[in-house]
Structure 1
């Protein structure tokens, strides 16, 4: 794989969300939850302070195709495809006309987050009708494997089926190419990243904490997780200060 080093400035912050809604203060899996009130304040701040919320495709073009990267660039991503996105997050994103990419677990559409343990109740996942409707409204979708498994811990053939199979399933649902992949739990290694490239994806998103500019390749893009406890100052610190990785980006699992 030819490694293309992206420019280190201006930094691009790819933010990672999961669920947005109203939750009792969660004691575990706090990075999976974001209170809708805080989410609305976060999006309002981005708008008020002139941040450039760009699509994942625009970020790729800036990092790897020589297109200009705007100052204060932010990308919004959501993992898992939880149905509460439609009720709580999407109206706010539409208000500000912010692009977003949602990563779907292709084998569980219309099911629940059954892979999560130690939670009071599983969250419902979007069904096919909802996905198609949101696509018409402008939401972009990517693949998050077939069964939400730790790919670097799977036998190679199983990992391959998860990576290739999720692309095929979602392209059948959407009737269009699915160019983006997100590693469940952030678990990946070089073999897994190579499979993502071989499958025909353009990007692979991780749970590594840094600006996207520090990726070793398009298949190891860092993101910044937004957690339930993040205040607005903490949110801004992640965007502006958490850019240089503390650890090597060469291996997983991380996060």
Structure 2
């Protein structure tokens, strides 16, 4: 069994004084990142140091597929680290810390959000990276599907839930033109329904991650895998408790 952790932005404490950060993305979608989806660099380092001290192995998506679909064993202490959306802080702060600790992570990419132009780091916004910047970090990160333009919400529905299955499938194919892992998906905002899963199945997707917390075992539905959101200022004691349940 293993836990999957999801992060969005890792930032120094002095950048986390406000409650939200407006996003800046290439396709113009407007939204804001709430404070709970950030994590401080101090806490992130504490969390990585704990995993390192406890000899946790950071999984690849290939290992997860082997475990869930072919009953291949995992190291006794295993964790899957994931990031969503590819904001600039991924490169500025998360990447060097993961590299320092020798850890791997998986990133779910909204490819329609990626810029063609390289922009300087902007602490006042959640600005996404460029595709070329992502390709410089493949020694730590592997990239999987988080839609091309379908990372949108209306209330408690994601765009895949109000568009046609054909349009959703076409969007998935556009994203897969960039990402290396073409059969693993993360539901934007954690929103999905039976039709969403059916389109993923028809498109050859093997795994999909929710934002529902919990441990993943061989009995977990492959298209409804658990991910624990690590919130802003989560105490290290609470983080450690995730791995003792």
* TM, length-normalised to structure 2: 0.80
Residue 39 of structure 2: aligned partner = 34
Residue correspondence of structure 1 range 144-223 to structure 2 within 5 A: 144-147=146-149, 148-149=151-152, 150-151=157-158, 154-157=161-164, 160-166=166-172, 168-174=173-179, 176-213=180-217, 216-223=220-227
The 2-side partners of 1:41 and 1:218 are apart by 30
The 1-side partners of 2:126 and 2:166 are apart by 27
1:17 aligns with 2:21: no
Query: Which of residues 219, 234, 241 in structure 1 aligns to 2:238?
Result: 234
Residue 180 (structure 1) shift: 1.4
Q: Is the 8 A contact 2:111 2:178 kept in 1?
A: no
Which stretches in structure 2 are left out of the alignment for 5+ residues? 21-33, 117-122
Higher strand residue share: 2
Residue 91 (structure 1) shift: 0.9
Residue 179 (structure 1) shift: 2.2
The 2-side partners of 1:171 and 1:184 are apart by 16
Summarize deviations over 1:38-80 as a string: whole Å, max 9, x none. 1111111101111122112212211221111222211000011
The number of residue pairs the alignment matches comes to 219
* Shift in CA distance, 36/70, structure 1 to aligned 2, threshold 3 Å: same
* TM, length-normalised to structure 1: 0.78
The 2-side partners of 1:239 and 1:164 are apart by 39
- Paired residue secondary structure (1:209): coil
The 2-side partners of 1:214 and 1:223 are apart by 15
Q: Is the 8 A contact 1:55 1:75 kept in 2?
A: yes
RMSD (CA atoms): 2.3
Residue 126 of structure 1: aligned partner = 129
1:139 aligns with 2:146: no
Which stretches in structure 1 are left out of the alignment for 5+ residues? 1-10, 112-119, 242-255
The 2-side partners of 1:53 and 1:20 are apart by 18
